[in-house]
Amino acid sequence: MSVEHPESAPPAPSDFIRDIVAQHVAEKRYAKIVTRFPPEPNGYLHMGHAKSICLNFGIARENGGQCNLRMDDTNPAKEEVEYVDSIIADVRWLIFGWADDCLGFKPKGAAPVRNESNGKLDFYLAPVPLDSGNTEPFFASDNFDALYAYAVVLIQKGHAYVCDLSPKETEEYRGSPDKPGRDSPHRTRSATENLDLFQRMRAGEFPDGARSLRAKIDMASPNIWLRDPLLYRIRHTTHHHTGNKWCIYPLYDYAHCLSDYLEGITHSVCTLEFEVHRPLYDWILGALDLPRALPHQYEFAKLNLSYTIFSKRRLLQLVQDKIVSSWDDPRMPTLSGARRRGIPASAIRRLATAVGVTKYDGLTDVAVYEHAVREELNALALRRLAVLRPVKLVLTNIPPDETIACEAVDNPQAENPVKRKVALTREVFIESDDFAEVPPPKYFRLKPGGEVRLKYACIIQCDEVVKDATGAITELRCTADLTTRSGGPNADKKVKGTIHWVSATESIDAEVRLYDRLFTVAEPGAEEDFKKFINPHSLEVIVAKLEPSLKGAQPSDRFQFERLGYFVPDAKDSTPGKLVFNRTITLKDAWLAKGPAPKK
Ligand code: ATP
Ligand code: MG
């Protein structure tokens, strides 16, 4: 049903990271550019992640490269298979038709291959041809054997030691940015003793927190991340991917740089908070004296959107507290929420291009996102007639059983617009706010004695307002001037207002969910108690009247209900027997009229 529409093709973006990659390509530094997107499967992906996906896949796409999807799953306590599955689905959705041929998968079930032929310990993850049909993403946890072997090398080289300080003591010994740390009393253990203890940590001899493996770097370093950071800790916890095989788990900094190396990543692109970790990233790879080209880390500023929170911990709270129905509630800033709300993936990619890639943190006005959504939907959506808050209008000069076929346009912006028939009948519905009994100045819609055009049909005049005993309007009695129909003798007659309508006898009912911003303030995340900024009117459910052609609408279809906004059938709740539509977005920004928002 949806109109074919070529992907809007803005010029290839340019930014400081792409400039670096271009330089490397010019120098022929790498055989192939390989990036990665490494989410932790502890929640659903959100619009912030989309910025990173668009950047990493964009770089791969623009350079004939590859972008690996990797589950950064080193913390078993918070991770779940549900999240892994949702991440795969969301990434595929976002890049579909754009960069899906750059998505790098690992060989199914493959573990890193050990290689010692050059005298240095090395592991490879054999790359899979991109068209191999393989669909399993990389998992950092698939590298646990290799990471363990590398940890043994670090111990043997005197670069790591087993420490018995408790987590609290470790924290105290670390010092603070303006105060150097103190050496752990276990820092001088021999390699033999360290190897024995590390092996026993792995064997499960010690309880959680009893020991850890730490890098031996510099407790006086001005960079706190270099003060003998933890590499491994003990966690007797089942892991969603490795089961009970391990009771020691590597920390992010240790697992990340090595996973990048194993996969042959050339450019490891992450957000600014990791800038201070970069020396550690380089230190670990350097200390291992690895034989192949090393990956390098580059940092960019996160996306922050006004009226939105991105913290996965807080999004989880919204779900758990039933403030929203689920992670894919259309009000959530998640990719699954956006998809269910009818937002095209191309609109999210358009947003990523619009915000660009910089080194400076900022707050992007959510209006930039909404503009991108409207731009994409304007091109994609089929026009339909629907009335959200109906008032009945009786065209007294049309006989009850007469149906007048009018021609409506599906896609007025296309080169070859498609037309369809809509039925004008004696009784129609119009939007209740398209009638004003006491009209304000410059009101060009329907008023007593006034004229208005019913879109695609004809001009009507309001003769009489009928009310019930309470004074509520029950119907508007009007005369239709059928000579003003398209092709009629008075088709050119002009009136100031044109309104939408549906036939009262032919229209169908549908539940329509009207969404608004989830928060009332621009920066809801600025305070811990962010829930006090929830917009109590973020969801309104109504029963609307739709033109009958919408009966078979599918969640993959996109519609503009004329003069109202963009709508999509709800992928979870809409059935042929009971249609449910989500309002993706209004045609205009209603918040603009409200004036500048309070910061919090
Ligand atoms: P949490 O909310 O749990 O701190 P996170 O947002 O850091 O998690 P990850 O799963 O670690 O989530 O993120 C995966 C990747 O997405 C990382 O490379 C991270 O830098 C990037 N990313 C996360 N949030 C944003 C954002 N708002 N803008 C751009 N990139 C982001
Ligand atoms: Mg993170």
Question: Residue 487 C-alpha to ligand 1 middle, in angstroms?
Answer: 58
Query: pLDDT, tens digit, for every residue of 333-360?
Result: 999 999 999 999 999 999 999 999 999 9
Per the CB < 8 A criterion, the answer to whether 504 and 525 are in contact is no
Question: Residue 46 C-alpha to ligand 1 middle, in angstroms?
Answer: 9
Structurally, the chain folds into a number of domains equal to: 3
Query: pLDDT, tens digit, for every residue of 199-228?
Result: 999 999 999 999 999 999 999 999 999 999
The last residue of a domain, from among 465, 483, 501: 483
Nearest atom in ligand 1 to 41's CA: 10
Instruction: Determine the pLDDT at residue 599.
Output: 52
Question: Residue 579 C-alpha to ligand 2 middle, in angstroms?
Answer: 39
Residue nearest to atom 13 of ligand 1 (CA): 39
151, 195: one domain: yes
Per the CB < 8 A criterion, the answer to whether 137 and 106 are in contact is yes
Backbone angles phi, psi at 139, to 5 degrees: -125, 130
Q: How confident is the model at residue 316 (pLDDT cuts 50, 70, 90)?
A: very high
Burial 426-457 (b: 16+ CB within 10 A, else e): bbbbbbeebbeeeeeeeeebbbeebbbbbbbb
Is 226 a domain residue?
Answer: yes
Residue 402 CB-half CA count within 13 A: 11
Residue with tokens 């006898």: 505
Instruction: Determine the pLDDT at residue 79.
Output: 85
Residue 350 makes CB contacts below 8 A (sequence gap 6+) with 8, 10, 372, 375, 376
If 0-12 CB within 10 Å is exposed, 13-18 middle and 19+ buried, where does residue 12 land?
Answer: exposed
Instruction: Determine the pLDDT at residue 390.
Output: 98
470, 325: one domain: no
Query: pLDDT, tens digit, for every residue of 429-463?
Result: 999 999 999 999 999 999 999 999 999 999 999 99
Determine if ligand 1 sits within 6 Å of the CB of residue 385. Answer: no
Instruction: Determine the pLDDT at residue 578.
Output: 96
Nearest atom in ligand 1 to 311's CA: 2
Is 503 a domain residue?
Answer: no
Is 491 a domain residue?
Answer: no
Nearest atom in ligand 1 to 273's CA: 20
Ligand 1 binding pocket mutation candidate from 15, 35, 44, 52 (most atoms within 8 A of CB): 52
Determine if ligand 1 sits within 6 Å of the CB of residue 264. Answer: no
117, 213: one domain: yes
Per the CB < 8 A criterion, the answer to whether 235 and 208 are in contact is yes
463, 371: one domain: no
Instruction: Determine the pLDDT at residue 107.
Output: 66
Determine if ligand 1 sits within 6 Å of the CB of residue 303. Answer: yes
Residue nearest to atom 10 of ligand 1 (CA): 39
Is 490 a domain residue?
Answer: no
Cα separation, 52 vs 356, in Å, equals 11
Is 307 a domain residue?
Answer: no
- Pick the closest to residue 581 from 326, 387, 378, 349 (CA basis): 387
Determine if ligand 1 sits within 6 Å of the CB of residue 70. Answer: no
Determine if ligand 1 sits within 6 Å of the CB of residue 511. Answer: no
Question: Residue 352 C-alpha to ligand 2 middle, in angstroms?
Answer: 19
364, 468: one domain: no
Query: pLDDT, tens digit, for every residue of 551-565?
Result: 999 999 999 999 999
Determine if ligand 1 sits within 6 Å of the CB of residue 302. Answer: yes
The last residue of a domain, from among 275, 300, 325: 300
Q: How confident is the model at residue 6 (pLDDT cuts 50, 70, 90)?
A: very low
Number of the ligand closest to the Cα of 44: 1
Segment 13-38 shows an average pLDDT of 97
111, 183: one domain: yes
Question: Residue 40 C-alpha to ligand 2 middle, in angstroms?
Answer: 6
Number of the ligand closest to the Cα of 86: 1
460, 537: one domain: no
Is 51 a domain residue?
Answer: yes
Determine if ligand 1 sits within 6 Å of the CB of residue 46. Answer: no
- What's the whole-number average pLDDT of the chain? 94
336, 368: one domain: yes
Q: Residue 495: how many CB atoms within 10 A of its CB?
A: 15
Ligand 1 binding pocket mutation candidate from 49, 308, 363 (most atoms within 8 A of CB): 49
pLDDT at 597 exceeding the cut of 60: no
End-to-end CA distance of the chain: 43
Instruction: Determine the pLDDT at residue 115.
Output: 85
- The residue that leads in pLDDT, 8 or 500, is 500
Ligand 1 binding pocket mutation candidate from 271, 369, 523 (most atoms within 8 A of CB): 271
- Pick the closest to residue 140 from 226, 69, 219 (CA basis): 69
Q: How confident is the model at residue 11 (pLDDT cuts 50, 70, 90)?
A: low
Provide the CATH number for the domain around residue 362: 2.40.240.10
Query: pLDDT, tens digit, for every residue of 366-413?
Result: 999 999 999 999 999 999 999 999 999 999 999 999 999 999 999 998
Question: Residue 600 C-alpha to ligand 2 middle, in angstroms?
Answer: 25
Alpha carbon 63 to its chain's center? 24
Residue nearest to atom 26 of ligand 1 (CA): 48
Instruction: Determine the pLDDT at residue 188.
Output: 97
33, 152: one domain: yes
Q: Among the listed ranges 71-75, 169-173, 593-597, which one has the minimum average pLDDT value?
A: 593-597
Report which secondary-structure segment, H or E, holds 67. strand 66-71
If 0-12 CB within 10 Å is exposed, 13-18 middle and 19+ buried, where does residue 467 land?
Answer: exposed
Provide the CATH number for the domain around residue 29: 3.40.50.620
Instruction: Determine the pLDDT at residue 340.
Output: 98
Residue 430 has what DSSP assignment?
Answer: E
Per the CB < 8 A criterion, the answer to whether 335 and 45 are in contact is yes
Structure tokens at 228: 């003998």
Question: Residue 427 C-alpha to ligand 2 middle, in angstroms?
Answer: 58
Determine if ligand 1 sits within 6 Å of the CB of residue 333. Answer: no
Is 272 a domain residue?
Answer: yes
81, 183: one domain: yes
Nearest atom in ligand 1 to 51's CA: 29
Is 4 a domain residue?
Answer: no
Instruction: Determine the pLDDT at residue 104.
Output: 84
Which parts of 116-189 fold into alpha helices (H)?
Answer: 144-156, 167-174
Q: How confident is the model at residue 4 (pLDDT cuts 50, 70, 90)?
A: very low
466, 404: one domain: yes
The last residue of a domain, from among 265, 300, 335: 300
Per the CB < 8 A criterion, the answer to whether 301 and 363 are in contact is no
Q: Among the listed ranges 63-77, 101-115, 448-462, 546-560, which one has the minimum average pLDDT value?
A: 101-115
Reported pTM: 0.94
Domain range for 399 is: 389-483
102, 229: one domain: yes
